Structure 1
Amino acid sequence: MTTPTSTLLRQLFPSWEFFDEARLPPTLQLRLLPRGDAPAPWLRVVQPLPRRWWHVVFNPAGTRTLAAQTLVERWYTELIELGEDAPASIESLTLVTALAESAVPRSAAIGDWQLRLIVTDDDESHVDVVYESDRLALPSARRTS
């Protein structure tokens, strides 16, 4: 059973698994599902950003990207270790859904969208779908009446 203290300790002191198998980090993707049309291709939610020399001192966009990818990796770990129905996984799914929703293009006013979490091997020839959502409604603020 996970307690608030053990959760805090897990966040403060990460597990250093030096001899664990190296793998690419999980990838959060979304796609638009227009009504009556074929689904759009999958797009990455967390995009890697180019690095510049001054980012050593000041890099708010890089910090946001790192925080977003950390959230995705935490959700992946919770899905694998605790299962999809665990309270921690459900809470992380809510946060990841909000993250993905913020990446839905502003031009998408009609239709729905979908998100999925994948893990690929090094040459990206094999894609393992860890989670795929049902149809999700676009945010009401973007819908046109």
Structure 2
Amino acid sequence: MSGTSAPSRKGLSKIACNRLQKELAEWQVNPPSGFNHKVTDNLQRWVIEVNGVPGTLYSNETFQLQVDFPEHYPMEAPQVIFHAPAPLHPHIYSNGHICLDILYDSWSPAMTVSSICISILSMLSSSTVKQRPTDNDRYVKNCRKSPKETRWWFHDDKV
């Protein structure tokens, strides 16, 4: 693999590896409704298919999340982004970055990939409008590659 490809397994601590293997085993037995983990040989990067909930703005739509796990997961939050095209949502930027506090300031090691997915699906399902954040163009132009390097301002709990 080249330097620009997915992170390798050796980048994970033993604790992170054990935790991810346990989460993956649990996922295979009881996946969260509306999600499908695309199986690869890379434990450090998961690609997850998200199906919009029937009766919501995203009904019959499918999106892909990319979840990259840091060396010290679960003590540190994973990086979670949508692959293009990202859903039109007031908290999801066109580059796939998600403004959701549990991915940053409110992260807890008790959270799992399943709980992250459920939170994202809940965020999508509760939206009343399909639109980009008002600062989308400015953010995408000026942001760094990783959303974890953004200083997020969580001020809207209505969407």
Of Structure 1 and Structure 2, which has the larger fraction of its residues in helix? 1
Of Structure 1 and Structure 2, which has the larger fraction of its residues in strand? 1
Q: Which has the larger radius of gyration?
A: 1
TM-score (norm 2): 0.24
Q: Which has the higher contact order (CA 8 A, sep 6+)?
A: 1
TM-score (norm 1): 0.26
